Amino acid sequence: MASIVLVTDSTADIPAQVRDKLDIAMVPLKVNFGDETYLDNITLQPTQFYEKLTAFNGLPTTSQPSPSDFYEVYKKLTDEGHTVISIQLSGAVSGTYQSATIARSMLDESADVTVIDSKSASYGYGMLVVTAAEMAQAGASKEEIIAEVHRLRGELRLYFLVDTLEYLKKGGRIGKASAVLGSLLNIKPILSIDKEGFVFPFDKVRGQKRAMGRIAELLEADFKDRPVNLTMAVTPGYVEGVSELSELLKQQLNVQTYLETEIGPVVGTHAGPGTIGLFATPASR
């Protein structure tokens, strides 16, 4: 039966069981440990990745899907008569969105494919994809779904609490001196993403507990008493303070739905183990 199908890429960090339930198609990015290449969240799962990362002498690299990777998925779905809405990782931090756009141009004009730049990362846009897929299953039109994705994209709030500056330093995103100083002073940077999809340092706080409290303050200021859908994404095996932060957020926010998920290999390559991501959108009106 023809329907609206959501397509995304692996950095949305949507749990496999959620993707399966909502029939979300996923195109994986790649993670390279030296000469070994893995498909993000397919041949390399988060727990396996962080084990390899700890043992690896250096920093793995990542690579985006090719246009042909997207083309194969789009072609199959549209040949079956489906309408496709494809939501990708921020074009400001990856060429994944560009690959998807090129793939769209390779199709016949009759193919009904809409590609959207999420201007976000990890479950920040995973939330958009899931909402869109739920709407599709409920019978919403393509126009209704796209309008809601754009609305939520503008109202999404996300913060990443990075446990260590070491991986940002290895990836060339901060200087060595900053990383050393941050480690010595126990500085915990809080990162966010701006309206254009660029990652930027939002704040920095000394100590993990204070940093968690700061994120709770920021989200409370963002939403006040409005009901929110909240997701916490963590690196597997990292549990210190997560339950405490979860309870704090539930006390200070009007949380309508709450989900915990894992930060996958590609995002973890750049953020490092011990990263926590908080993503919130207004609950349905």
Same domain, yes or no: 101 and 184? no
| Residue 107 region by backbone torsions, left for phi larger than 0, else alpha for psi between -120 and 50, else beta | beta
For residues 167 and 88, give the distance between their C-alpha atoms in angstroms, rounded to a whole number. 24
Does 39 fall in a domain?
no
Quick one: 88 and 165 in the same domain? no
Residue 150 sits in which domain range? Answer: 4-29+64-154
183 shares a domain with 85: no
CA-CA-CA-CA torsion for 48, 51, 53, 55, nearest 10 degrees? -140
* Residue 92 domain flag: yes
Find the helix or strand (DSSP H, E) in which 150 lies. Answer: helix 142-155
Least reliable range by pLDDT among 25-34, 81-90, 173-182, 255-264: 173-182
Q: pLDDT tens digits for 205-241? A: 888 888 888 999 999 999 988 999 999 999 877 656 7
Is residue 58 situated within a structural domain?
Answer: no
pLDDT value at residue 54 = 84
Residue with tokens 């939330």: 127
Number of domains the chain is built from = 2
Please tell me the predicted confidence (pLDDT) of residue 177.
Answer: 38
Q: Which of 135, 154, 173 is the last residue of a domain?
A: 154
Residue 200 per-residue DSSP state: E
Distance separating alpha carbons of residues 108 and 12, to the nearest angstrom: 27
191 and 261: one domain?
A: yes
Burial of residue 168 (CB within 10 Å: 0-12, 13-18, 19+) is buried
What average pLDDT does range 50-71 have in this prediction? 92
Q: Which residue has the tokens 């201007």?
A: 119
Q: Report the pLDDT value the prediction gives residue 229, as an integer from 0 to 100.
A: 93
Q: In this prediction, what percent of the chain has a pLDDT beyond 90?
A: 64
